């Protein structure tokens, strides 16, 4: 199982990607540039697709979460 969490931290003006894998420590990546953040997410999606991972359920959007750039 893998869990991806994305957020924007206003305090640091950074986009944050947290990847949680089973039996591995969480990986946190920070980006100041939205384009780089977006490219990383798409690259990770391709990696998971190529490894034949499948989405179970729908993404969960928090009511006070992502507002976009």
Burial of 19 (0-12, 13-18, 19+ CB in 10 A): middle
Q: What is the per-residue pLDDT for 40?
A: 97
Q: Is the distance from CB of 65 to CB of 6 less than 8 angstroms?
A: no
User: Is residue 8 a contact partner of residue 67, using CB atoms and an 8 Å limit?
Assistant: yes
Alpha-carbon distance of 36 to 33, in angstroms, equals 6
Q: What is the pTM of this model?
A: 0.80
pLDDT at 54: 86
Q: What is the pLDDT of residue 48?
A: 92
Per-residue pLDDT in tens (0 to 9) along the chain, 69 residues: 888 999 899 899 999 999 998 899 999 999 999 999 999 999 999 999 999 998 888 877 777 765 655
């Amino acid at each position: 199982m893998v869990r991806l969490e994305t957020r924007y931290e206003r305090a640091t003006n950074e986009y944050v990607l947290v990847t949680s894998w089973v039996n591995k420590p969480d990986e946190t990546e920070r980006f100041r540039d939205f384009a780089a953040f977006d490219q990383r997410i798409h690259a990770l999606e391709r990696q998971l697709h190529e490894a034949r991972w499948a989405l179970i359920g729908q993404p969960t959007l928090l009511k006070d979460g992502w507002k976009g750039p």
